[in-house]
Structure 1
Amino acid sequence: MNKSVEFEPLRESHFNLLHKWLNKPHVQAYYSVRSWTLAEVKEKFIPYVNGEKSIKGYIVASSNQPLGYIQSYPLKKYPFKDQDLPAIIVEKAAGIDVFIGEEAKLGQGLGYSIIHTFLEKFIWPNYQYCLADPDIRNVASIRLFKSCGFKEHKTIRSNDALGHQAMYLLFIKGSPLMG
């Protein structure tokens, strides 16, 4: 089921909203991992807004109502530890991270629309591959990426935002233009 979603490039005016979402228990469980102050949100995201990092962030909305966040980045600049991918794929791949911040929007099938629309608008015009790395405990996210046609590549170990060891399931999807 494809629902209409829009993407607004991240701006400083979104930081209060991100602060609210990053402190929601369902977002902290797998994405933000801890409590955030508004100052920490600004420190983390201002380089995205100013173009100091090659991470592009967007507020996701449906019917002009903000509901979540998505970001993309060139994999060659931010590779996954132990990703075991050929250099040719890394060179032509983007990574994405996504969450729905509004609890009332969970379980409505919006995740599929967000991923599908984002790939069409922002990833496939610029990259041949897309990767995602949900926490292996995040069953809903794993189910979402599978439903969007991503294939499991491997389980990787990394550190979460607190420096604790965590396990992630690395997914990959190739552009439909590749044939």
Structure 2
Amino acid sequence: MVGSVRFDPLSRRDFGLLRSWLSAPHVREWWRGAEPTADLVEQEYGPSVDGVDPARCFVINVAGERVGMVQCYRMADEPEWDALVGIPAAAGVDYLIGMPGRCGLGIGSSAIGAFTGLVFGLYDDVEAIVAVPQADNQASRRALERAGFELVEERDLESDDPSDAGVSAIYEFRR
């Protein structure tokens, strides 16, 4: 059984831990792209920490242990991605369990399920929450389904992001 789940706003003091999570083989398999150097983590997540980027990033804390990261954003704030995914009035979420020993224990589904309430609280104008893992990422898909997300469709999204290469599974959770 998963302990209590808390979401702590990501801060720069978390960047070293976040970098180690992004470098872990089980994460790199799906969060593709350049090697997550300290500079790259700052470039990618610093604007969110500073409130310049509208994405909101949080550390997943389970029973006092920091185990992963989750972020959310209004899909409308990313117009190209919003158009590709095609679900109106939605917020997007991305997540990872960075600690290899914490994968497969139900933490992902518990955290995602708990996070839906926080997302709807942050964005009262959205009607759905969207997650778009790779179709082959069975662990992520199971976590979403256990958290109450429903598969909308599988299709190739023509994105410049290496993490989106190939067929994606588009999931939604309605308000």
Give the TM interval when normalised to the shorter protein.
0.7 to 0.9
Equivalent pair of 1:112/1:148 in contact (CA under 8 Å)? yes
The residue that corresponds to 1:26 in the other structure is 26
The residue that corresponds to 1:35 in the other structure is 35
Structure 1 consecutive aligned stretches of length 4 or more whose deviation exceeds 6 Å: none
The residue that corresponds to 1:132 in the other structure is 131
Given residue 137 of structure 2, which amino acid in structure 1 is its aligned partner?
N
The residue that corresponds to 2:141 in the other structure is 142
Q: Structure 1 stretches of 5 or more lacking a match?
A: none
TM-score by length of 2: 0.88
Given residue 134 of structure 2, which amino acid in structure 1 is its aligned partner?
D
Comparing 63-72 with 76-85, greater Cα deviation is found at 76-85
The residue that corresponds to 1:109 in the other structure is 106
How far did residue 160 of structure 1 move? Answer: 6.0
Deviations 1:54-86 (CA, angstroms, capped at 9, x unpaired) = 10000111122110000000011123453233x
What does residue range 41-80 of structure 1 map to in structure 2 within 5 Å? 41-78=41-78, 79-80=81-82
* Distance in 1 between residues matched to 2:13 and 2:171, nearest whole Å: 32
Name which of 87, 93, 98 aligns with 2:95. 98
How far did residue 173 of structure 1 move? Answer: 1.2
The residue that corresponds to 1:8 in the other structure is 8
How far did residue 26 of structure 1 move? Answer: 0.3
TM-score by length of 1: 0.86
* Distance in 2 between residues matched to 1:75 and 1:24, nearest whole Å: 27
How far did residue 11 of structure 1 move? Answer: 0.6
* Distance in 2 between residues matched to 1:108 and 1:72, nearest whole Å: 23
Equivalent pair of 2:8/2:58 in contact (CA under 8 Å)? yes
Name which of 78, 82, 85 aligns with 2:84. 82
Residue 136 of structure 1: SS of its match in structure 2?
A: coil
* Distance in 2 between residues matched to 1:166 and 1:101, nearest whole Å: 23
* Distance in 2 between residues matched to 1:98 and 1:163, nearest whole Å: 13
